[in-house]
Structure 1
Amino acid sequence: MMDLKTLAEHLDQMPVNPYLTYSQMIVCTLDVRSDLGAGSLYFSRKHPLACWISTLICIFSSTILTNFLLNEPIISSLGNTQQVLTATLIWYTIFYSPFDIIYKLCNFLPIKVALNCMNEINTCKTIYQGIIHASKVFPDSYVIMVFIGIVRGNGPGFTRMFERLIRGNWSMNVLEFMHPSYSTKMSALASITFIVNRYSEWFMISQSFVFFCVVCACLYLRLSAILLDISDPFCPFENLTCLLLFGGIWDALAKALSSGDQSTRHTGNLRSKALRADILYRNGQQVYVAKCAPVITPQMATMN
């Protein structure tokens, strides 16, 4: 029976085979169709060129952004004709299959789970390869390595605004820097873990085991998102971090003190109005109506 160490070594040494690449292409194409919403079929039939180009950008976004940031030819991302033809075939079958059968088959839960699991393994491998590639160009910049790892892990998230622009829909609410998605956060965490394991002297754990742990964490969180509908498991930690480190606790304290001052002032105003009403009555002057006190007249005083 294969032990955990052997399994981790096999997973780490496993090359990025075509099946992992195909799963990534299918998942990206499904994301494009999901982003189009209910009118995806109508758009694909009326604007097939825009639909095809935006899908290719989504599929090859990680390589395109990596080449752009590392000052390498951007167009080389589309240099592999076989991959471009495969991506085109996947795009065509998902958008134009008879009775939409391929799209329905890909969204069938067991197949959807299998595709996403394969895509997570492929994502972890591309993140690690991106860090290795960035370390050769910028060997002393850990920040650049982390950023390249993030881009390699969630390239479609950073190009989504441009994809929508190609499809004639400009929207700023998908800007990844303002609203980072789960994939961006997980890619950042995986990149930092790989870099610490690779360059730190006190992190004495084998690279294969670290890669295995990162893959398991990605699979667990992705399955939780699919099966349990957990969109972002990082939200509770983000809220706590913002409360403790980014001024949240001081804002809450200032708001509490401000509410206390307003309550004290309101109570003081009520007491002042009641006192003024009492003084006006004792002096026998005209009727005084306070918002928080009953109407007091000289006739009522005579009756008492």
Structure 2
Amino acid sequence: MKRKNVCSWTLQLGSVEVSRRSPVASWLCAMLYCFGSYILADIMLGSSPVDYFQHNSHILLASAVWYLIFYCPLNLFYKCVSFLPIKLVLVALKEVVRTRKIAAGVHHAHHAYHHGFFIMVIVGYVKGSGVALMSNFEQLLRGVWRPETNEILNMSFPTKASLYGAILFTMQEAHWLPVSKSTLILIFTLFMATSKVVMTARHSHGSPFALIESWICHLLFSSPLAGGEEDHHHPPPAGAPSSPLKTKEDLSEGARKRKVKKAE
């Protein structure tokens, strides 16, 4: 869904400013958001990362949507696709495409590496969440460096679901899962589309996997339970120092006060 990917990119901090200051950088960032999964998968499988750009119609469609999003008079196009009923339809369609890409990535890797199950999982995962995995490189094009937003460190629901989906499709490809591919695609698509539509309608950024992941991580890795007493992510109490290290401004201020006291 080129339209939905470009719309998602407009929510990134500074994207509108970049579109005004440097249209070329803005267009490149939009193309990365549209085709990042194909680029990463091609690199991993030894193909040229520009292979997908031979599809002129896809590039022209994505470019047209990018132009309308940022330069349409009165922001009419953006307001239209941001209207909640239309947005929910686009979100659902995007998850349909995501499932198809995960299945295609696993199938492609299976042909190249018949017994490379980890490779199948990784390629399927990249095909489903390549947009998010490319976000740090896209930030560099916008002149922003925010390593704390690394998708591996802070996995969103679509990224986690892509990983779990890649595992399921790999198991099906290896005949470890007694279900046909078409049935698995249908079930996984319904789950993804329903989850994303509900989360978008409720403006929620949570994850349906949160409770299960919390218990599994607590059991296997001794991680604190979500919302438990051992959670170390609570903000520090009021008045507590944020860091034992003083900044240069603090040191210079202290030195200035000592000089004033000596002068007195």
TM-score scaled to structure 1, two decimals? 0.71
SS of match in other structure, 2:50: helix
Cα deviation 1:209-228 (Å, max 9, x = unaligned)? 22111111101110121112
TM-aligned CA deviation for residue 62 of structure 1: 0.7
One of 204, 215, 218 as aligned partner of 1:230? 204
Aligned position for 1:138: 113
Cα deviations by residue, 1:1-50 (Å, 9 ceiling, x for unpaired): xxxxxxxxxxxxxxxxxxxxxxx1111111111013xx543331111111
Q: Deviations over 1:62-84 (max 9, x none)?
A: 11000111111111121112211
What is the distance in 2 between the residues matched to 1:165 and 1:40?
12
Q: Of the candidates 139, 144, 169, which is equivalent to residue 194 of structure 1?
A: 169
Q: Deviations over 1:181-231 (max 9, x none)?
A: 211110111111112223235x32222222111111101110121112332
What one-letter code is carried by the residue in structure 2 that aligns with 1:217?
Answer: F
Q: Report the counterpart of residue 30 of structure 1 in structure 2.
A: 7
Structure with the higher fraction of residues in helix conformation: 1
Q: Which whole-Å CA distance do the structure 2 matches of 1:40 and 1:138 have between them?
A: 39
Counterparts of 1:201-280 in structure 2 under 5 Å?
201=176, 203-231=177-205, 232-248=207-223
- Whole-Å Cα distance in 2 between the matches of residues 60 and 207 of structure 1? 25
The DSSP-based 3-state class of the residue aligned with 2:153 is coil
Which residue matches 1:103?
78
Counterpart check, 1:163 vs 2:119: no
1:53 Cα offset (Å): 0.6
Paired residues in the alignment total 225
CA contact (8 A) 2:18 2:25 kept: no
- Calculate the TM-score normalised by the size of structure 2: 0.81
The separation in 2 between residues aligned to 1:206 and 1:79, in whole angstroms, is: 33
For structure 2, the 5+ residue unaligned runs are 225-229, 231-264
Q: What residue in structure 2 maps to residue 151 of structure 1?
A: 126
Identical-pair percentage: 28
Amino acid at match of 1:30: C
Kept in 1, the 8 Å contact 2:107–2:173? The answer is no
SS at match of 1:226: helix
Partner amino acid, structure 2, of 1:29: V
Tell me the SS of whatever aligns to 1:173: helix
Q: Which has the larger radius of gyration?
A: 1
Equivalent AA in structure 1 for residue 98 of structure 2:
T
How far apart, CA to CA, are the structure 2 residues paired with 1:173 and 1:103? 29
C-alpha distance in 1 between matches for 2:92 and 2:171 = 25
Note the C-alpha offset of 1:238. Answer: 1.8
Distance 1:248 1:70 in 2: 35
Q: 2:93–2:193: 8 Å Cα contact kept in structure 1?
A: no
The C-alpha deviation readout for 1:127-186, integer Å capped at 9, x for no partner, is: 111111111111111111111111110111110000010010011012122111211110
